[in-house]
Amino acid sequence: ETGVTQTPRHLVMGMTNKKSLKCEQHLGHNAMYWYKQSAKKPLELMFVYNFKEQTENNSVPSRFSPECPNSSHLFLHLHTLQPEDSALYLCASSQAETGFAEAFFGQGTRLTVV
């Protein structure tokens, strides 16, 4: 149990579907992150939230829409995705105010777009 829970663990969706990924942390952290993990590519930072405010959008296409209603919950809303969006989506949280902080990761959602 890492303290960061992601649901669902696996998701298969068509290109015209709308779905959401959910992330929840009970560690009292202020920052939450979405990462995309694809084979043979660097772990790609998508979004950063600090105290519910988005601080970083790493040029992510608008078909990915994040939502952070409070410091404990983070969503990634998906619509009209492409097959190349198939990947493992990882959520993380940290209490990174002083430069060092451990980022705690969830187990990820394995997304397949068909």
Partner 1 sequence: GEDVEQSLFLSVREGDSSVINCTYTDSSSTYLYWYKQEPGAGLQLLTYIFSNMDMKQDQRLTVLLNKKDKHLSLRIADTQTGDSAIYFCAESSPTSGTYKYIFGTGTRLKVLA
Alpha carbon separation from 56 to 15, 30, 34, 63 (Å, rounded): 26, 14, 10, 16
Among 11, 25, 34, 50, binds partner 1 (CB under 8 A): 50
**Residue 105 lies near partner 1 (rule: CB under 8 A):** yes
Do 20 and 78 touch, CB atoms closer than 8 A? Answer: yes
Among 18, 43, 82, 114, binds partner 1 (CB under 8 A): 43
- DSSP, collapsed to helix, strand or coil, labels residue 104 as strand
From the centroid of its chain, how far is CA 49?
Answer: 10
Amino acid of residue 43: L
The minimum distance between CB 44 and partner 1, in angstroms, equals 8
- The contact set with partner 1 (CB under 8 A) reads 2, 4, 30-31, 33, 35, 40-43, 45, 48, 50-51, 53, 55-56, 90, 92, 94, 96-97, 99-103, 105-108
